[in-house]
Every structure is written in C-alpha cells, then in structure tokens.
Amino acid sequence: MHADPATGAGDGRVSLAPIALFVYNRPAHTRRTLEHLARCAGFSASRLVVFCDGPKSSGDTDAVHAARRVVHELAAAAEIVEATANRGLAASIIGGVGRLVGESGRVIVVEDDLIVHPAFLEFLNAGLDRFADAERVMQVSGHLVPVPSFANRRDALFLPFTTTWGWATWERAWQHFNPDVSGSVVLDRDGAMRRRFNLDESYDYAFMMALQRAGAIDAWGPRWYWSVFACNGLVLFPPQSLVQNAGMDGSGTNGWISRLFHASEVSPAAGAVVPELPASVAVNPVDLAAVCQAVARQSGGPLRHLLDAMRRLRYRSVLSSKSAGS
C-alpha cells in the first residue's frame, strides 16, 4: 500500500498525493474506510500515512488498540503514527496536514468514518494537478450536498466554501491556515459579509466562528473555512458527492460538531464517474444559488431550529461567564 508518489512529469500521468488517514477508536469504521480506499484507482501506488490518536482515558484503550490492529492488518506497508497521548481530532489533523504538505507540497485527507467512491482519489489528484498553481483555488473536495439540478451533471464546479469530509489541499494554500481565526470578529458587525459567509443565510457558519472564538468548541473545520474565506479562496467540488459520512451514528467524539457544521450525510453516487474539470476558475452564480438552496434544505426543519436556538443560548452563557470572570 505504500509507494513513492508518481511524478507525472511530462508523460500525462496524474501525480499521486500522499493520503493522510486519521484514526481513533472505531475499528469497524476504520476497516470500512480502508476497504473502500483500497478500491480507488491509484491507491496502491499512493503513499499512505495513518495517524492514530491516543486514548483519552483508560476506558478508551481497548477500542484504540482494536482500531490500530485493523490498521496494521489492512495497511501494514503504510507509515503508521501511533500517538501515546490523546491530541484530539483538531490538533491531529492540523499537525498531520501541516507535516505532509511540508514534505510533499500536497495532501489528501480522510477520516476514519468516511466511505469513498472508487473515483474519489482520481478526482482529487486530478484537481490537485490541474489547479496546483491557481492561487485562488485552496481546496479540492470529494463531498457535496445533493443538488437536484446536478443529478446528471458531469462537470465539476467551484464554490466559495470548504468541506471536511474527504478533501485535499496544497502547501501554498495551507500556509494561510489561521488557527486563531484572527479577524473573524468582523462577521459580527458586517451583515453583508456574514450573509456571504453563511451562504446566503442557508446555514449559520458565522455562529460556529463565534463559538470557536469563545472557546466553546475546538474544531479545525470552521477555522479552515474562515482561512479560505478571508483569502477569497475557492474550492473545487464534484457535481455528485464521492463521499459518504458513516460516522453519524453517535460513535464519533466530535459528532455533535459535525452535525452542526455540516449538512446531513449522503451516499456516493453509485454510477458516478470521474467528473470533468472546469476550464476556468470562477463561480457560476446559478450553481452557487442551487447549492445554497440544497444546504438550506439539508440543515432545515424544526429540529434544526431548536438546535440553533440551543447553540445560541450556550454561546451567550459562555460569553456571560467570560465577562463575569474578567
């Protein structure tokens, strides 16, 4: 499973980015993720680095070790990094991505609860190659919410937001990662910017930034989105999702953050082929409007409104506590 990435220089081949897989304490999920990755074109020739986080407590030890046994069984030739202490998902991903883009200039990121389509790696690697020098393109995503008008679409598209369910980036983009989300307070006072950040108010991403600044959550996804947004960056998406999140079953340590920050899971399109890459780097307003409507549908409903209200109450209590202690 481990090989030096192909250069693809001058012969029409696509370069193979290293794959960073992040694993914790879910052996069944880990097995399924590795089995589906192995079905992807180019996987056997790709460098695989598996980052295994350490247990939070003695109660997690058995499950952590069980997940690691699956990694050693299915990815014995990979580089396996086993942490002795618990770093948490955010620190693990930030550190792992930073290391691999520093070594290879690019990276594909997968977590242990994702089921990927066989075209997943081929699409991400093609996008990484085609737009390697396009400064405004900062990520290639394998996941997209289901958009009815895209059902028969073949060509990929650019959108002005990030996702975290199976993605890739370059060192030139990751150098703009802003872990302290400095400057994001502008979202609280600039209504037009906040509306754009919230995808025309289809989802309250700005509230996630407020939670992050207040220390109520420690999530890397909202911080990466702000980093890309602040650079006026774009993300390449497939027209139909090539990734399904199978971790929305309560087994994930940060499942509540994923449910809040992301739309609900979708299954990879069974008949999907590798999407065609766009000729130019630009957002089609019609495409963006369709995606915003899809995000609003996925995140709407009475339960979502209740969760939003609960989040806001929690944030206000955090701010009140901070004010009282200052």
The domain that contains 114 carries what CATH number?
Answer: 3.90.550.10
Establish if 41 belongs to a structural domain.
yes
Distance CA 266, CA 283 (A): 23
Averaged pLDDT, 276-281: 96
Q: How many domains in the chain? A: 1
* Residue 8 is assigned to a structural domain of this protein: no
118 SS3 class: coil
Inside any domain, residue 59: yes
Ramachandran angles phi, psi of 84, nearest 5°: -85, -25
**pLDDT tier at 309, thresholds 50, 70, 90:** low
The tens digit of pLDDT for each residue in 199-223 reads 998 888 888 888 888 888 889 999 9
| Rounded average pLDDT over 17-21 | 98
Whole-model pTM above 0.85? yes
- Average of per-residue pLDDT values in the chain: 86
Compute the distance between CA of residue 178 and CA of residue 37 in angstroms, rounded to an integer: 30
Q: Is the pLDDT of residue 5 over 50?
A: no
Instruction: Give the pLDDT of residue 216.
Output: 82
Residue 9 located in a structural domain: no
Could you list the residue range(s) of the whole structural domain that residue 213 is in? Answer: 19-318
pLDDT at res. 2: 39
Alpha helix segments (H runs only) across the chain: 27-37, 61-74, 89-104, 120-130, 171-174, 191-197, 205-214, 220-230, 255-261, 285-299, 302-325
Is 86 a domain residue? yes
Among candidates 179, 131, 175, 128, which has minimal Cα distance to 16? Answer: 128
- With contact defined as beta carbons under 8 Å apart, do 138 and 211 qualify? no
Is residue 153 in a domain?
yes
In a domain, 11, yes or no: no
Report if residue 325 sits inside a domain.
no
For residue 7, is pLDDT > 90?
Answer: no
pLDDT, mean of residues 269-292: 89
pLDDT tens digit sequence for 226-262: 999 999 999 999 999 999 988 654 455 444 444 444 4
Cα separation of 233 and 162, whole Å? 9
Q: What is the pLDDT of residue 281?
A: 98
Token pair for 180: 């302290």
Quote the pLDDT of residue 212.
87
